[in-house]
Structure 1
Amino acid sequence: MADLLELLAPQLGDLPRDSTTDKYLNRLSTLSLDALQNTEPPSLAQSSHSTLLSLQALSNRSHRAFVTSSDNLSTLCQSAPQLTREAQQLREAIPKLDEEAVNFSTKYSKITDNAALERRKKAMQLSRNVDRLSDILELPTLLSTAVSAASVNSGTGASSTTYSSALDLHAHIKRLQTLYPESPLIQNVASQAEAAMKDMTSNLITGLRAQNLRLAAGMRTVGWLRRVAPDLESAGTGEGALGAIFLVCRLAHLVSTLEALDPLRELADQETQKRLGKDKSDPNGPSGGQQTDRYLKRYIEIFREQSFAIVSLYKNIFGSEQSESELAISGLRGADAKSKPKPAALDDPMQRVPPALATFPMYLVQLLTDTMRAYLPNVRDRTSKESLLTQLLYCAASLGRLGGDFSMVLTELSEEDDEDMAQEWEEVMRKHRALAGRLEQLTSRVPAH
């Protein structure tokens, strides 16, 4: 190889030596004379042409970068010394800046009434806690969104999760209010949260008026109300005002359901006007009370179903708190209540408020008897009237299973001088007791398994 380099030295001139040159010269020393003359020149020409094309393509793509690099390289000789001088100036200024900062801190650290420093401290503290403040400010919006979503999905499984999330958010806001009672920001957030919780309370109370309210949904709703509005649970009774609210809501649903019978009631009113406008001694009137019979049958059917459901739901939801209610409802059955001893807490009427269920069955019975007293005289067919009276007895027995039997109250439907009505009542009661006796005998004969 040294001989080859000596032979090629005149042609290479001052070409720098590197590893690539050495590798190529080593490769040339291994080639034959024929390859050097015929194969290597075309190969070198092809490689040179390929490299030229690559350089041309690179120049076309990156010519701007090349121009910029060239310009920066031309100014590098002036920029580097300037950068060095400015870095030296900065290094010399840092100790002086540090000294001034220490002097400033020492001078103003003991001053507490400087308004500018106070504003700066508050601004810096606000800057450090901006994320936390943003999260706190978003709490009322999140709470309102959760309440709205729960009201839209009322009656579904999603409402339970949404209401629980809303209650958790409200509890978090209450904790913040306890930790920072004097903060205007927290007070504002708490006031907005209270407004949202009032909307939630309204939605929950409206949910108690839903049609076909089930026991599970009722217990959940009452449980949420106890968390949202704890003030409703007064110390007077176990259920507080929640029991009264529940009964009022279910009563509103009962009244709205009965109002759906208004078309039949209007026909019954027409028959009432005909009855009052003709001679009562005439046994054959223009109307025998067929429309009134239809109205009363449907009325009693709805009343029986809904009254039983209301009292049953109340007892199941507030059942563990109704030791007094059992005694109060038993007053509908006459002497049974007198035979039971009253709790000492009930001796003083100002000491404890009676439970909501104490007078509610009597109100239901009054609602039923007023309707019967107004429309039952329209029914002149004896069979139809006996059917209605029997239906009333079954309704009384149904509510009596929950301690609200009002069969004896029904005897007041007939007037004192109405002997026919009294005889009909007597006949219906006799048949009803006979049927009940036969059913009891059949039940007693069934062998126990």
Structure 2
Amino acid sequence: MSGDTQTLADVVGAPSTPASEEYLKHLTTLSLPDLLAEPTVLQTQAHYLTSSLVTLAHTSYPTFLAVHQSNSALNASLSTLSASLDTLVSDSLPALEQCASDWKNRTESVLKERKRARVVLEQHEKLRDLLDIPLLIDTCVRNGYFGEALSLAAHARSLATLFNNNDGSGDKGTQGAQPPPVLLSSILAEVDQSITQMLVSLLATLHEPHRKLPALFKAVNFLRRMNVFGGGADNVSPAIPLHSPVVAKVNGKGADFASGHTHYGASTDDTLQAEQQLALAFLSGREACLVASLDGCGRNIQGVIRELQATPGDGTRSLEERELEDIARYLKKYIDTWREAVYDIVTQYSTIFLERSPLPSNPPPTKEQLRELHTSFHSLLSTYATHSLTKHLVPTLSSALPLLAPPALPSLLTQLTYCASAFGRVGLDFRGLLADIMGKSVVAAVRRDIRAAGSVWAQELLKSYEPEEIEDGKTDMAMSRSKSSSSRSGVKVNRAPSKWLISPSLVASPPLPSGTSTPAHIPPPLLASYPPLAVFTNALLTTLNGLRLLAPLHVKEALVHVIDEEMVNGGQALLRFAEAVSADEKLEEGEIIIVKSCGEVYFNVFAPFVKRALVEGVYGSKVAESDEVLGSQAADMKRNWDTWTSSLSTLPQSQ
């Protein structure tokens, strides 16, 4: 029976729904009469519901139509929504994802910039201090605060070193030093430019005239600290100038600006070589100052010399007294300027390089190296002193002193002797050079004055006859004499000897040498009888009187040579005039006697007296010691004169 048991829902045939099950449970609770009456109740309710539904359909059909339409629209909307969802899932969402990814990539650089800007804003004070370093260094350099400038430069250098140390966290054996940031490189470049300007300023100090020892000592010390002449930089970043004084060596070698130990970490040889180069730079700079100081006076002296060299003719002329005074004044100023400048350079060099303590280096220099350095310093100083002497003073003296008159030379010699004695205190006595320079100058000055006096004598003789008839300029007396003998009728004398060669009161009886001699400092009175010869004597004695103030003993023979040479030249001029007088048939015999008497006085009184005035009057020696000087020329000249006097007897007498 259990297998045939069926539920009420199965018996009734109702669908198994919660409502039907609830209704069936309700039926089970009814009594039989109620249960029997239940179909009638259900039928009544069905008729009621049907009537209500019909009534509702008639009264609410628009609502049903609207619901139908809404249902249709809803179905269409759901289909469209399904298609849209499919499109969203398959197309729009991947595109949105790609756009979001692209947006992230595009905004990443902006975010980085914003992050960097935020970092810059946070480090604003530090960056401002860093950016102020070049400006502060430039200000210090412009105002002469070189120590502070070097300290700031050392700080900038330490930043580069710190960056390299922090950046080298990897394998240092395989990774090189990384370049510093662009900002740091830019700052270091500006610092390098300012330090370079400081270097130029320090080197310019060595070239500035009138700089005293403290300023020069300061400049040299800062040049040492900057290690200008040290070795090349190693391991320097390409962004930093290779030869920058600011970051000489980022690995700790080279200059230490803050501490002042310039060569600490450098080799001893580099240190010594750098000191030698620094000393050479100092001497080069001071040499430029010396040249600038001497330029004014030297230009004035050389201007007069060039003017003389540009003179037409033989290139020489007699200087006026004003020109001689100008040359002497310029020369004195030149010597004083040279003495002061060179003495200052020598003392400054000695104080800076020869009297300072040894340089710090690693390892310290040995005694032998210090001795070698000291020797090289002395060698540089000696070379420079010799250069300044032979380059500036000696050439100027050699070219200017011969232009001066002999009386102007003693004062210059005194000045030069004082100058040489002053340099003797520093071991640079050059008095040994003065003897040769002054000797040559004395000989040149005496020769110039004596030749000028002889030229006046020769011109006086030349004005008295026609030179073309005697071949003027010939030095061979035999040729001149044969010419005059062969063409006696063509010779013309412009001035008779009685009109100018002898005193008018003595024309009738021309005086002749008497054989008596006078002291070397007193001219023979006989010379006054012949005025041109007396003028010649006065000019020569004036020159010899000036020579007495400065008469170097080693040039005595040269001066005797000059005297004898001028005596020979004057005798030749007198002989040519005598031949012209004897060749002129219009002149009386008395004119020839006057010329003959003048010649006897010239050769037997005047020439010996002039030589004695030089040898005995100036040097206090005997004439016999100098008889052999130009003896052959003087003897030839005397023989030519004797030949002419002996030929007078063969000449036809004037009627």
- Give me the TM-score of the superposition, normalised by structure 2: 0.38
CA contact (8 A) 2:420 2:431 kept: yes
Give the one of 242, 255, 259 matched to 2:291: 255
* Alignment-derived partner of residue 205 in structure 1: 203
Tell me the CA shift for residue 416 of structure 1.
7.3
Matched, 1:215 2:213: yes
* Alignment-derived partner of residue 155 in structure 2: 172
Tell me the CA shift for residue 310 of structure 1.
1.0
Name the SS of the counterpart of 1:402 in structure 2.
coil
* Alignment-derived partner of residue 308 in structure 1: 343
Give the one of 383, 388, 404 matched to 2:412: 388
Matched, 1:139 2:265: no
Query: 5+ residue gaps in structure 1?
Result: 1-113, 151-158, 324-342, 430-449
Tell me the CA shift for residue 209 of structure 1.
3.1
* Alignment-derived partner of residue 130 in structure 1: 124
Cα gap change, 1:125/1:300 in structure 2, threshold over 3 Å: closer, same or farther? same
Tell me the CA shift for residue 251 of structure 1.
1.8
Which residues of 2 match residues 30-429 of structure 1 at below 5 A?
122-148=116-142, 150=143, 159=144, 162-181=145-164, 182-184=179-181, 185-231=183-229, 234-237=270-273, 239-261=275-297, 264-265=300-301, 268-269=304-305, 272-273=308-309, 286=320, 289-320=324-355, 356-366=380-390, 367-380=392-405, 382-413=406-437, 424=550, 426=552
- Return the alpha-carbon distance in structure 2 between the equivalents of residues 208 and 310 of structure 1: 11
Tell me the CA shift for residue 130 of structure 1.
2.6
Identity of aligned residues (%): 27
Tell me the CA shift for residue 117 of structure 1.
7.7
Cα gap change, 1:276/1:391 in structure 2, threshold over 3 Å: closer, same or farther? farther
Cα gap change, 1:413/1:132 in structure 2, threshold over 3 Å: closer, same or farther? same
Greater helix percent: which structure? 1
Tell me the CA shift for residue 301 of structure 1.
0.9
**Structure having the higher Rg:** 2
Name the SS of the counterpart of 1:213 in structure 2.
coil
Query: Residue type matched to 1:313 in 2?
Result: Q
RMSD: 4.1
Tell me the CA shift for residue 179 of structure 1.
1.1
Query: Residue type matched to 2:289 in 1?
Result: H
- Return the alpha-carbon distance in structure 1 between the equivalents of residues 428 and 192 of structure 2: 40
- Return the alpha-carbon distance in structure 1 between the equivalents of residues 273 and 436 of structure 2: 33
Give the number of equivalent residue pairs: 282
- Return the alpha-carbon distance in structure 2 between the equivalents of residues 242 and 236 of structure 1: 10
CA contact (8 A) 2:202 2:223 kept: yes
Deviation readout 1:268-314 (Å, 9 max, x if unpaired) = 3366438896697x9x6655732221111110011111111111111
Query: Residue type matched to 1:246 in 2?
Result: F
Tell me the CA shift for residue 134 of structure 1.
2.1
Tell me the CA shift for residue 207 of structure 1.
2.2
Query: Residue type matched to 1:406 in 2?
Result: F
- Select the structure with the greater relative contact order (CA < 8 A; seq sep ≥ 6): 1
Deviation readout 1:22-75 (Å, 9 max, x if unpaired) = xxxxxxxxxxxxxxxxxxxxxxxxxxxxxxxxxxxxxxxxxxxxxxxxxxxxxx
Query: Residue type matched to 2:210 in 1?
Result: N
- Give me the TM-score of the superposition, normalised by structure 1: 0.53
Query: Residue type matched to 1:393 in 2?
Result: T
Query: 5+ residue gaps in structure 2?
Result: 1-107, 165-178, 231-262, 264-269, 359-366, 447-546, 556-655
